[in-house]
């Protein structure tokens, strides 16, 4: 595995490497990331992982400075799994102020975008830059960031990028908590309580599968049960898997998504639901 910090070296290394499969990350890797890298291995002769904490996607007062940076440990985990780790500095990625950015579709202003204005523009912009640098045939993103995956699929489709996007399943801890680098911000007591987010989504899923169709009532119940346990809820929303809009009547491929704060930590999770009928 080769660790590369500069754009020039990356381009030289990858010049003769197709097909490349790519996993963009912000580092602090956990089992969920490693799963994505293993999926990438099935799709490319050369597997590239980027590690870059992208300032463009963090708002004022968010955790950009605090975000865990663990390059050495990340490289140790990737040894034997990835061929190239691209870990540029902020100056390498943004040698001049990034005054041209991607404006994502309106859906990016809902759900997480409502609480984090500009977040998906920052994500889409850095991912487009990374795609241009790595020029992968395949790129793998986690379904844990469901709205991000949707925005990236739109980016690829609307800008005609010749890249196949693959969504990797969310990896969970034994109690059901979705793995996330931000879980380490939780105190021991909060970590114990954090499982309630995925349990709440399971309850919504069970109700939908049992035939309940009043999605607004299910969202409200979920929101209230989280709030009663001390969570500050940004949203609980039942949406269409395909569009992330409110489901059309009779639509069966749904997803329930939620974002909520436990103490100072904002956690997100989602569950796909395929209704029978």
Whole-angstrom distance, CA of residue 38 vs CA of residue 222: 34
Question: Considering the rule CB under 6 A, would residue 127 count as an interface residue with ligand PAF?
Answer: yes
Question: Considering the rule CB under 6 A, would residue 40 count as an interface residue with ligand PAF?
Answer: no
Give the active site residue among 33, 43, 119, 150: 33
Beta bridge partners of 267: 260
Whole-angstrom distance, CA of residue 87 vs CA of residue 91: 12
Helices of type H across the chain: 7-14, 31-41, 71-78, 90-93, 112-115, 119-134, 146-158, 188-193, 195-209, 215-228
Question: Considering the rule CB under 6 A, would residue 39 count as an interface residue with ligand PAF?
Answer: no
Which of 20, 47, 102, 126: binder of ligand PAF (CB under 6 A)?
Answer: 126
Which of 1, 3, 7, 26: binder of ligand PAF (CB under 6 A)?
Answer: 26
Q: Is 43 a catalytic residue?
A: no
| CB-count exposure of residue 61 (10 Å: 0-12, 13-18, 19+) | exposed
**69 vs 221, beta carbon nearer ligand PAF:** 69
Question: Considering the rule CB under 6 A, would residue 25 count as an interface residue with ligand PAF?
Answer: yes
Question: Considering the rule CB under 6 A, would residue 200 count as an interface residue with ligand PAF?
Answer: no
- Give which of 128, 130, 140, 144 is closest to 165, Cα–Cα: 140
Question: Considering the rule CB under 6 A, would residue 123 count as an interface residue with ligand PAF?
Answer: yes
**165 vs 193, beta carbon nearer ligand PAF:** 165
Number of residues that bind ligand PAF (CB under 6 A): 10
Contact range with ligand PAF by CB under 6 A, out of 24-32, 182-190, 256-264, 266-274: 24-32
Q: What is the DSSP string of 103-162?
A: ---GGGGSTHHHHSTTHHHHHHHHHHHHHHHH--SEEEEETTSHHHHHHHHHHHHHTT--
**181 vs 207, beta carbon nearer ligand PAF:** 181
Question: Considering the rule CB under 6 A, would residue 23 count as an interface residue with ligand PAF?
Answer: no
Contact range with ligand PAF by CB under 6 A, out of 18-26, 38-46, 171-179, 183-191: 18-26
- Residues 47-86 contacting ligand PAF, CB under 6 A: 54, 57
**226 vs 244, beta carbon nearer ligand PAF:** 244
Whole-angstrom distance, CA of residue 53 vs CA of residue 65: 9
Contacting residues for 161 by C-beta, under 8 A, at least 6 apart:
128, 131, 155
- Which residues would be at the binding site for ligand PAF (CB under 6 A)? 24-26, 54, 57, 123, 126-127, 145, 148
Q: Active-site positions?
A: 33
């Amino acid at each position: 595995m080769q660790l590369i910090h500069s754009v020039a070296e990356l381009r030289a290394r990858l010049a003769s490497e197709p097909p490349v499969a790519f996993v963009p990350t912000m580092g602090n890797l956990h089992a969920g990331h490693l799963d994505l890298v293993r999926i990438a291995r099935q799709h490319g002769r050369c597997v590239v992982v980027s590690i870059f904490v992208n300032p463009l996607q963090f708002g004022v007062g968010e955790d950009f400075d605090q975000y865990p940076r663990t390059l050495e440990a990340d490289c140790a985990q990737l040894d034997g799994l990835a061929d190239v780790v691209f870990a540029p500095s902020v100056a390498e990625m943004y040698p001049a102020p990034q005054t041209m950015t991607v404006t994502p579709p309106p859906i990016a202003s809902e759900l997480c975008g409502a609480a984090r204005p500009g977040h998906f523009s920052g994500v889409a912009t850095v991912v487009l830059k990374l795609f241009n640098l790595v020029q992968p045939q395949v790129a793998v993103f986690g379904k844990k960031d469901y709205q991000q995956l949707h925005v990236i699929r739109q980016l690829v489709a609307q800008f005609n990028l010749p890249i196949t996007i693959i969504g990797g399943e969310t990896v969970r801890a034994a109690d059901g908590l979705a793995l996330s680098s931000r879980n380490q911000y939780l105190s021991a007591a909060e970590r114990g309580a954090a499982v309630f987010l995925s349990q709440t989504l399971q309850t919504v899923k069970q109700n939908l599968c049992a035939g309940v169709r009043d999605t607004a009532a299910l969202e409200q119940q979920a929101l209230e049960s989280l709030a009663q346990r001390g969570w500050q809820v940004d949203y609980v929303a039942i949406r269409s898997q395909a569009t992330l809009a409110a489901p059309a009547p009779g639509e069966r491929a749904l997803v329930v998504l939620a974002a909520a704060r436990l103490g100072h930590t904002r956690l997100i999770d989602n569950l796909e639901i395929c209704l029978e009928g």
